[in-house]
């Protein structure tokens, strides 16, 4: 439970300090349809590897569109404001 609370607090800090990069396509610099931790951290530098791993539901080391949406809905990654 403490880990969950810490994640929520960190996500709140992330949401207040990062800009909304937008969609997966906006962050997907190599165009493979997936987001690596590096691509997410380029848009959201405060995003930790641990937060990324929480968002990576299938543990394949990348976020697909469904995982990105779920992470945004859970507050792990700021949602597109635009």
Please report whether residue 32 resides in a domain.
yes
Domain count, the chain: 1
Q: pLDDT tens digits, residue range 31-75? A: 999 999 999 999 999 999 999 999 999 999 999 999 999 999 999
Please report whether residue 5 resides in a domain.
no
Residue 77: what pLDDT?
A: 86
Please tell me what DSSP assigns to residue 63: B
How many Cβ atoms from other residues are within 10 Å of residue 77's Cβ?
A: 29
Please report whether residue 41 resides in a domain.
yes
Range 24-33 average pLDDT: 93
Please report whether residue 4 resides in a domain.
no
- Output the domain CATH number for residue 58: 1.10.238
Write down the number of H helices and E strands in the chain.
Answer: 5, 0
* pLDDT-derived band at 24, boundaries 50, 70, 90: confident
Range 7-36 average pLDDT: 69
Is the pLDDT assigned to residue 20 strictly greater than 70? no
What range defines the domain where residue 51 resides? 23-82
Query: Are the beta carbons of 13 and 46 closer than 8 angstroms?
Result: yes
């Amino acid at each position: 439970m403490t880990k969950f609370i810490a994640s929520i607090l960190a996500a709140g800090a992330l949401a207040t300090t990062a800009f909304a990069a937008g969609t997966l396509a906006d962050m997907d610099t190599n165009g493979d349809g997936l987001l690596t931790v590096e691509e997410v951290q380029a848009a959201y530098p405060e995003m930790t590897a641990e937060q990324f791993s929480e968002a990576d539901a299938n543990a394949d080391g990348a976020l697909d569109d469904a995982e990105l949406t779920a992470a945004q809905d859970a507050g792990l990654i700021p949602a597109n404001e635009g």
